[in-house]
């Protein structure tokens, strides 16, 4: 169980990000309008992009030179990032034993589709697979980028329950969403994003 401390600057084209926040174990919701830097922040924490200045610390460790695969993460990107040549089950087996893979498929209700390729799945099914993959290694740091945007309310509640369960387990979770209700339902803490700047708040203010 560790705190994530982000204090990083990065630039993509004309967009500048200055992200500063602390995420304790539990769910920290990253909330804000589109293109405000939320996805960029997740990419920096994941290590697929390096900040221009500043640092990202998890527990005692500075993640600076640690390659993505060694950061102990689980990551579900916004577009799900599914591999077109591998079936549903094969998305989990590189990370978990066959038994655990089957258990995960059952958890996200994808068992019937175990042998399907991603192009045979609906948008919601794809998201559930990306989510299951992120959980596969029981990561201590979980990055979820709008993971349930294509799910119906019932599935969304069910998946949200799994996120809460991971939080109880002690994982530090960054959860990006711009669904206010979902944010309030799942979040222990909130980071507001606007034009590349962050503001830590303990609860979301009602819409003005």
Interface residues toward another protein, by CB under 8 A: 43, 46-48, 67-69, 71-75, 77, 79, 81, 83-86, 94-95, 130, 133-134, 136-137, 139, 143
Name the residue nearer to another protein (CB basis): 133 or 156.
133
Tell me the Ramachandran region of residue 201: left when phi exceeds 0, alpha when psi lies from -120 to 50, beta otherwise: beta
Residues 174, 179, 181, 183, Cα dihedral to 10°: 10
Name the residue nearer to another protein (CB basis): 6 or 134.
134
Name the residue nearer to another protein (CB basis): 69 or 205.
69
- Cα–Cα dist 18/13, whole Å: 14
If you count DSSP H runs as helices and E runs as strands, how many of each does the chain have, helices first?
A: 5, 10
16 with 184: CB under 8 angstroms? Answer: no
Name the residue nearer to another protein (CB basis): 73 or 186.
73
Name the residue nearer to another protein (CB basis): 134 or 183.
134
CB of 84 to another protein, least distance (A): 8
Residues 16, 20, 22, 27, Cα dihedral to 10°: -30
Name the residue nearer to another protein (CB basis): 75 or 190.
75
SS3 category, 125:
helix
35 with 27: CB under 8 angstroms? Answer: no
CB of 153 to another protein, least distance (A): 27
CB of 126 to another protein, least distance (A): 12
How many angstroms from the chain centroid is the CA of residue 195? 21
CB of 85 to another protein, least distance (A): 5
CB of 181 to another protein, least distance (A): 27
- Cα–Cα dist 103/51, whole Å: 37
Residue tagged 């958890």 (tokens): 107
CB of 48 to another protein, least distance (A): 4
């Amino acid at each position: 169980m560790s705190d994530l401390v982000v204090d990083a600057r990065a630039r993509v084209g004309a967009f500048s990000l200055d992200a500063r926040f602390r995420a304790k174990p539990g769910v920290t919701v990253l909330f804000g309008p589109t293109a405000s830097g939320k996805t960029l922040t997740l990419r920096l924490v994941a290590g697929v992009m390096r900040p221009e200045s500043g640092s990202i610390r998890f527990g005692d460790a500075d993640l600076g030179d640690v390659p993505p695969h060694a950061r102990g993460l689980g990551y579900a990107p916004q577009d799900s990032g599914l591999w077109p040549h591998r079936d549903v089950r094969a998305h989990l087996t590189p990370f978990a034993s066959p038994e655990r893979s089957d258990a995960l498929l059952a958890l996200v209700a994808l068992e019937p589709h175990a042998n399907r390729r991603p192009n045979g799945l609906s948008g919601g099914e794809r998201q559930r697979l990306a989510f299951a993959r992120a959980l596969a290694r029981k990561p201590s740091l979980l990055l979820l980028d709008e993971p349930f945007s294509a799910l119906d309310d019932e599935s969304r509640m069910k998946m949200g329950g799994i996120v809460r369960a991971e939080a109880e387990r002690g994982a530090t979770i960054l959860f990006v969403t711009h669904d206010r209700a979902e944010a309030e339902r799942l979040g222990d803490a909130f980071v507001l994003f606007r034009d590349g700047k962050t503001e830590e708040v303990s609860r979301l203010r009602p819409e003005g």
